[in-house]
Amino acid sequence: MFRMLLKSACVAALAAHATSSLSADTWPANPLKLVVTFAAGGATDVTARLIAEKIRVDLGRAVVVDNRPGAGGNVGADFAAKAPPDGYTLLMATSSHVTNRSLYKSLPYDFVQDLAPVSRVAFIPNILVVNPATQRAATLADFIKQVKDPNNKTKLNYGTGGSGTSQHLSTALFTSMVGVDMEHVPYKGGAPAVTALLSDQVQVVFAPLVEVLSFIESGKLKGLGVTTRQRSSRYPDIPAIGEQLPGYEVALWNGILVPANTPADIIGKLNGAIIKALAQPDMKQRLAEQGSDPAGTTPAEFRQFIASEVGKWAKLVQISGAKAE
């Protein structure tokens, strides 16, 4: 028994030594994997591929994007959280991963404890859009006045990409602050919800800006307000909803994390590569084309930011009444 315990202790010590011996001096010696928890072609995937290419150039190693969609982003996040803490597996996380802590009854991983923040990458606003062919509101103030009018008997339906999505939570906060009721119509993704808005099956969608840019540009949809605290750099003339409803804010974000216990000097080197990438003019332009704003941080700042987000998204889930299995 003593020899078995001694053997186990030696194995544990060797494993700990192997992890501690990793350093930025020898890392990276192999290609890196950037896990994206949503399907290829979406906004998160596009941003991940942009940042992966920049990291590749800076670190001198390939960065392979690994799409692992499923369960609202939990499949890929669980995979990344349980990967070896050696700096070779990165997670492209989003605000959805914080939301999932309150949305799901149980998860196979702990987003806060099992992952170490490296840097936030970008902020992405949702935008309140209506179909100008069927909605007379020309401004956000007009729309709020319209939905609050007691003489307005028209029931408004709002489309989302599903229960608990950012579209759902953004609208739920809006309706609770305005004091009105709109009927929730969930779809299997953001694109079908936008299609429903174009055909007047629903009258309102709080869509990620990247999903409706082309329709706003063509005049098929009208943007009335963005959900972030600040106006979007892409559409500075469209007000933040908080300008009409003080305190309103739903800021989507993405960022990169690694498995907990990844050596600090490797995290520091990764952080430097990401910050350098976000400062480059072409990267800023590509993000702006998607309606995103670069938002790099130090690892400590990102950790503090995530901690502040947990309570915020939990409150939004409570307001919406959303649940997921």
Q: pLDDT tens across 15-43, in order?
A: 555 544 556 689 999 999 999 998 888 78
Domain boundaries for CATH 3.40.190.150 within the chain = 17-124+252-320
Residues 6+ away with beta carbon under 8 Å from 111 = 77, 81, 93, 97, 98, 100, 101, 306
pTM of the shown model: 0.84
How does pLDDT run across 61-70, given as a tens digit for each residue? 999 999 999 9
pLDDT value of position 14: 52
| pLDDT for position 5 | 46
Q: pLDDT at position 275, please?
A: 98
Low-confidence ranges of the chain (pLDDT < 70): 1-24, 325
Read off the pLDDT of residues 181-234 as tens digits, 9 standing for 90 and up. Answer: 999 999 988 889 999 999 999 999 999 998 899 999 999 999 999 999 999 988
Ranges for all domains in the chain classified under CATH 3.40.190.10: 125-243
137 contact partners, CB below 8 Å, separation of at least 6: 130, 143, 146, 224
For tokens 């605000």, the residue is 95
89 φ/ψ angles, rounded to the nearest 5 degrees: -120, 120
What is residue 6's predicted lDDT score, i.e. its pLDDT?
47
Unique residue bearing structure tokens 């609770």:
176
Q: What are phi and psi of 138, to 5 degrees?
A: -95, -20
Whole-angstrom distance, CA of residue 122 vs CA of residue 255: 7
Q: How far apart are CA 104 and CA 106, in angstroms?
A: 5
In the prediction, which pLDDT does 1 show? 44
Q: So what CATH class is 125-243? A: alpha beta
User: Which residue, 63, 64, 69, 62, is CA-closest to 42?
Assistant: 69
Both tokens assigned to 196: 């429903």
pLDDT attached to residue 279 = 96
CA distances from 188 to 19, 86, 202, 247 (A): 42, 36, 15, 30
Q: Report the pLDDT value the prediction gives residue 155, as an integer from 0 to 100.
A: 82
Nearest to residue 293, comparing CAs of 235, 207, 218, 222? 235
For 95, the enclosing helix (H) or strand (E) is helix 95-103
Q: How many Å separate Cα 227 from the centre of its chain?
A: 13
Does domain 17-124+252-320 fall under CATH 3.40.190.150? My reply is yes
Cβ-in-10-Å burial (0-12, 13-18, 19+) of 190 comes to buried
